[in-house]
Amino acid sequence: MTRTALRICPLCEATCGLTLTIDEGRVTRARGDAADVFSAGFICPKGASFGQLDSDPDRLRRPLVRRGGQLAEATWEEAFAAVAEGLGAVTRAHGGTAVGVFLGNPNVHTVAGGLYPGQLIAALGTRSVFTASTLDQMPKHVSSGLLFGDPNAIPVPDLDRTGHLVLIGANPMVSNGSLATAADFPGKLKALRRRGGRLVVIDPHRTRTARAADRHVAPRPGTDAALLFAMVHVLFAEDLADPGTELAGHLGGVEEVRALAADFAPEAVAAYCGVPADEIRTLARELAAAERAVVYGRLGSTAVEFGTLASWLVDVLNALTGNLDRPGGAMFPLSATARAPRPAGPGKGFATGRWHSRVSGRPEVKGELPAAVLAEEIDTPGEGRLRALVVVAGNPVLSAPDGRRLDRALGALDFMVSVDPYLNETSRHAHVVLPPPPPAQSAHYDFAFSTLAVRNTVRYTPPPVPLDDGALGEPEIHARLILAVLGQGGPGADPALVDGQAIRRRLDRETADPNSPVHGRDAAALEAALTGRTGYERRIDLMLRLGPYGDGFGADPEGLTLEGLLRRPHGIDLGPLRPRIPEVLRTRSGAVELAPEAVAADVPRLRAAVAAGAAGPALVLIGRRHLRSNNSWMHNVPALTGGSNRCTVQIHPVDAERLGLADGMQARIKGDGGEITAPVEITDALRPGVACLPHGWGHDREGTRLTEAAREPGVNVNQLLDGTLLDPLSGTAVLNGFPVQVEAAG
Ligand SMILES: Nc1nc2c(c(=O)[nH]1)N[C@H]1C(S)=C(S)[C@@H](COP(=O)(O)OP(=O)(O)OC[C@H]3O[C@@H](n4cnc5c(=O)[nH]c(N)nc54)[C@H](O)[C@@H]3O)O[C@H]1N2
Ligand SMILES: Nc1nc2c(c(=O)[nH]1)N[C@H]1C(S)=C(S)[C@@H](COP(=O)(O)OP(=O)(O)OC[C@H]3O[C@@H](n4cnc5c(=O)[nH]c(N)nc54)[C@H](O)[C@@H]3O)O[C@H]1N2
Ligand code: SF4
Ligand SMILES: [Mo]
């Protein structure tokens, strides 16, 4: 029997609504859902290959447990027993702090990843938490934490209403957008230009996005902070800084920013940035002159040497040009599962460094340590060494610096468990692999991306296809893992205990909070009123009802509940973004703190780099993404491989000539962490002095089960890094703009 079902796509941040055609429990087709309130029918090639990805024969269907050195299929009960035993042995001997946790990117794309990791970390009592954030957007969290007092209050570009969009280190024509959840980003860029708006792209690579721009500026990689500082300098020097009356009453530190920018005149940074001073002035003047404008920075502005400074300057520019918290500018989304807004006022503020990494003393940020120090935390002997690791939806052997070292370190762990559907470069080291079901058998709700979306909507899709016999849903896997850690994971352990605990904790807090819609009510009665067929659905119901649009358990009978949402399978539109200052602020002063001390303290480092000018390595490397690829885990889907989606090193003709390289030739690329060999692709789309390699490749290790990916394995660009190059404020690895040497191989 053929039927259709709706499923929000979990494959990138655009969160498109898909209509799946299902034949005998198998997805045979995926189309964009034209009635979806957020995506209105948009789909990309990855979404279109949902069926192939879902039914990949290499997906693990049963848990694997290591016995006598070999991973072999086992029952779930055997697998959880092995987890309890393995983690139990380590925690009994060395405490929960000897267990690390690595959370990879798909955790922000699954219901389970949004609900359970906090409870897992608490159950372990560990401070050794690592995530993909320190390979990605952590600088933006730090900048938001310092500016607004809440590291998760990240303003997004109001794409539908802006008239002037400046993209820095972002390639949304390919990535479909990030920290700016917008289905059909390409269509929104076209619409911007159709309504007479302008698109400016700052990127050392003439990407597809840059080619669609009115103005493309190609700076030297890693120099954006200086470029943005120079723009700020021009705003002050030419009397163009005007935050606007609404913001002005909630803004502190403007004069301090003026002083910090004093040394960064366009002429002072031009050589360092490789951008003429006049061009920098024009960028600043155009931004100030535009009626509704917004600056937005992404990976090329975060995973870089001055990532936090650049992320901060993006919002400094938005604030100083009157575009922060204003339609068409940079605005704060309000998610349906966020806590209902509380009255404005001073908060606790944000600080980092509550603890430090053991080996190289890197500060904690948002409860995490840098992913780049995971290997040394395992392989450096001494008190407090990590002896066990829980990896959920991550492949750090490919995605983090120095994969070879991490690969060896993982192999030496006393115990490792992976929650992952694939046996890949990382999970091959696990003692137990717990495979979640394919996406067609999982429910979807975007906890993370609804806090980053360019329009407020709420959508939930239950699992389109029932679980295979004997399979466990990912929420249940997480809950059982937590119970195993707590020593309550014996046969028949009830995952609902974990959900119940989270529900009661939240209700206890809310009923005691005078500003909560349920203040003073009976927590047990509220718990009994929750609906939902599973523990995770009851938690979603709870969050929706206590959220900004919720029914408050009867306080607003028209408000949101899970039942109400289930009656609207294409979602509910909650309208365009609305101004949220001051209610969103949680700084100690209660205002936007435009010149935080921690940021000011990092400015001398930038000043020193600028003083060194253009003198620097002859060649630096940057990354690139491909539309038919996603980080490290989609190279096993035949529909998405081949063609132009290949692991080549791109280089400018001038550099190729200097280095004696020709198209198609093998090049040896050397960095501080090692060397790799890749085919050369010559292109003048790059700025001279820049080489470019995609990440997520290098599928040639033994003991994996990635049949397709192994056919064209590529090489791991992160092998060029040794893990020491970080943005100091955020602990984020420098993945763009690091020095390399390239020469003809063999
Ligand atoms: N040089 C360089 N390195 C980079 C980057 C770069 O631009 N350049 N980008 C960085 C960025 S932005 C990121 S986010 C990281 C990503 O790096 P990681 O966080 O390591 O993520 P992936 O490489 O996507 O690996 C995802 C893993 O999750 C598994 N998985 C897929 N679906 C599910 C699911 O539903 N449940 C579970 N439990 N597991 C699932 C996959 O099999 C795979 O093992 O890479 C970073 N590394
Ligand atoms: N198709 C596809 N989509 C994806 C992913 C994928 O792997 N494939 N990954 C997803 C993930 S995890 C993320 S985090 C997002 C990332 O989303 P984006 O940030 O939009 O994607 P990138 O392609 O990494 O874009 C970074 C851009 O920065 C440029 N750049 C590099 N160094 C510098 C620099 O120093 N300065 C400036 N100004 N620019 C620089 C690069 O040339 C590149 O064009 O994409 C998501 N979407
Ligand atoms: S753009 Fe992203 S969310 Fe939309 S279909 Fe493609 S992969 Fe899925
Ligand atoms: Mo990412």
Whether 297 lines ligand 2, by a CB cut-off of 6 Å, is no
Backbone φ, ψ for residue 412 (5° rounding): -100, 5
Residues in a beta bridge with 8:
17
- Please give the pLDDT value at position 615: 80
Q: Is the dihedral of CA 15, 17, 23, 29 positive or negative?
A: negative
- Out of 16, 736, 738, 740, mutate this one to test ligand 2's pocket (max ligand atoms within 8 Å of CB): namely 736
For ligand 2, atom 47, name the residue with the nearest CA.
175
What is the Cα–Cα distance from 324 to 162, expressed in whole angstroms?
Answer: 12
- Please give the pLDDT value at position 150: 98
> What tokens does 268 get?
């002072």
Architecture of domain 617-744: Beta Barrel (2.40)
Q: Which ligand is nearest to the CA of 32?
A: 3
Predicted model pTM: 0.98
- For range 445-462, the mean pLDDT: 98
The mean predicted confidence, pLDDT, of the chain is 97
**Cα 9 to middle of ligand 1, angstroms:** 16
Whether 436 lines ligand 1, by a CB cut-off of 6 Å, is yes
- Out of 13, 108, 171, mutate this one to test ligand 2's pocket (max ligand atoms within 8 Å of CB): namely 171
pLDDT higher than threshold 90 for residue 746? no
How do 620-622 and 690-692 pair as beta strands?
parallel
Q: Is the dihedral of CA 80, 81, 86, 91 positive or negative?
A: positive
Listed residue (169, 124, 220) closest to 609, CA to CA = 220
**Cα 627 to middle of ligand 3, angstroms:** 10
Look at residue 553 and give its three-state secondary structure: helix
What is the Cα–Cα distance from 459 to 447, expressed in whole angstroms?
Answer: 10
**Cα 224 to middle of ligand 2, angstroms:** 15
User: Could you write out the DSSP letters of every residue in 170-194?
Assistant: --HHHH--SSSB-TTHHHHHHHHHH
pLDDT higher than threshold 80 for residue 41? yes
**Cα 392 to middle of ligand 1, angstroms:** 10
Map tokens 């860029």 to a residue: 189
Least confident segment among 360-364, 422-426, 626-630, 728-732: 626-630
| Topology (CATH) of 138-332+581-604 | Dimethylsulfoxide Reductase; domain 2 (3.40.228)
Whether 737 lines ligand 2, by a CB cut-off of 6 Å, is yes
Q: Which ligand is nearest to the CA of 105?
A: 1
For ligand 2, atom 33, name the residue with the nearest CA.
300
How do 738-739 and 620-622 pair as beta strands?
antiparallel
Phi-psi domain of 571 (left: phi exceeds 0; alpha: psi -120 through 50; beta: other): left
pLDDT band for 225, please (50, 70, 90 cuts): very high
**Cα 407 to middle of ligand 3, angstroms:** 31
How many residues can be counted in the chain?
Answer: 746
**46-67 pLDDT, tens per residue?**
999 999 999 999 999 999 999 9
Which residues have CB under 8 Å from 136's CB, separation 6+?
105, 299, 302, 303, 732
- Please give the pLDDT value at position 585: 98
Whether 650 lines ligand 2, by a CB cut-off of 6 Å, is no
Map tokens 């404008």 to a residue: 293
Listed residue (502, 503, 494) closest to 476, CA to CA = 494
- Please give the pLDDT value at position 490: 84
- Out of 6, 7, 12, mutate this one to test ligand 3's pocket (max ligand atoms within 8 Å of CB): namely 12
**523-575 pLDDT, tens per residue?**
999 999 999 999 999 999 999 999 999 999 999 999 999 999 999 999 999 99
Whether 176 lines ligand 2, by a CB cut-off of 6 Å, is yes
For ligand 1, atom 4, name the residue with the nearest CA.
399
Whether 266 lines ligand 2, by a CB cut-off of 6 Å, is no
How do 674-682 and 649-651 pair as beta strands?
parallel
Whether 181 lines ligand 2, by a CB cut-off of 6 Å, is no
Q: Which ligand is nearest to the CA of 9?
A: 3
pLDDT higher than threshold 90 for residue 641? no
Contact criterion met (CB below 8 Å) for 349 and 380: no
Cis peptide before 582 (omega within 30 of 0): yes
Backbone φ, ψ for residue 278 (5° rounding): -60, -40
- For range 406-423, the mean pLDDT: 98
- Please give the pLDDT value at position 613: 84
Q: Where in the chain is the domain with CATH 3.40.228.10?
A: 138-332+581-604
Map tokens 């198998």 to a residue: 26
Whether 19 lines ligand 2, by a CB cut-off of 6 Å, is no
Whether 688 lines ligand 2, by a CB cut-off of 6 Å, is no
- The CB density around residue 515, as the number of other CB atoms within 10 Å, is 11
pLDDT higher than threshold 90 for residue 3? yes
- Please give the pLDDT value at position 21: 98
Residues in a beta bridge with 573:
457
**Cα 674 to middle of ligand 2, angstroms:** 23
Which residues have CB under 8 Å from 689's CB, separation 6+?
220, 618, 619, 620, 652, 655
E strands, 430-539, where? Answer: 432-434, 455-458
What is the Cα–Cα distance from 27 to 615, expressed in whole angstroms?
Answer: 55
> What tokens does 325 get?
């918290």
For ligand 3, atom 6, name the residue with the nearest CA.
44
Q: Which ligand is nearest to the CA of 179?
A: 2
Look at residue 311 and give its three-state secondary structure: helix
**Cα 630 to middle of ligand 4, angstroms:** 9
Q: How many CA atoms lie within 13 A of 173 on its CB side?
A: 13
**155-194 pLDDT, tens per residue?**
999 999 999 999 999 999 999 999 999 999 999 999 999 9
E strands, 625-672, where? Answer: 649-651, 666-671
**Cα 446 to middle of ligand 3, angstroms:** 13
Residues with CB under 6 A from ligand 3: 9, 11-12, 14-16, 43-44, 46-47, 176, 183
Greatest CA separation found in the chain?
76
What is the Cα–Cα distance from 698 to 710, expressed in whole angstroms?
Answer: 8
- For range 395-399, the mean pLDDT: 98
Task: Report CA 182 to chain centroid distance, whole Å.
Answer: 15
**611-621 pLDDT, tens per residue?**
998 787 899 99
pLDDT higher than threshold 80 for residue 346? yes
Atom from ligand 2 closest to the CA of residue 12: 47
pLDDT band for 226, please (50, 70, 90 cuts): very high
Q: Where in the chain is the domain with CATH 2.40.40.20?
A: 617-744
Type of residue found at 164: H
Listed residue (402, 411, 409) closest to 378, CA to CA = 409
For ligand 1, atom 37, name the residue with the nearest CA.
393
- Out of 223, 304, 622, 632, mutate this one to test ligand 2's pocket (max ligand atoms within 8 Å of CB): namely 622
What is the Cα–Cα distance from 717 to 744, expressed in whole angstroms?
Answer: 17
**Cα 136 to middle of ligand 2, angstroms:** 9
Map tokens 């607004």 to a residue: 148
- For range 124-151, the mean pLDDT: 98
How much of the chain exceeds pLDDT 90, in percent? 97
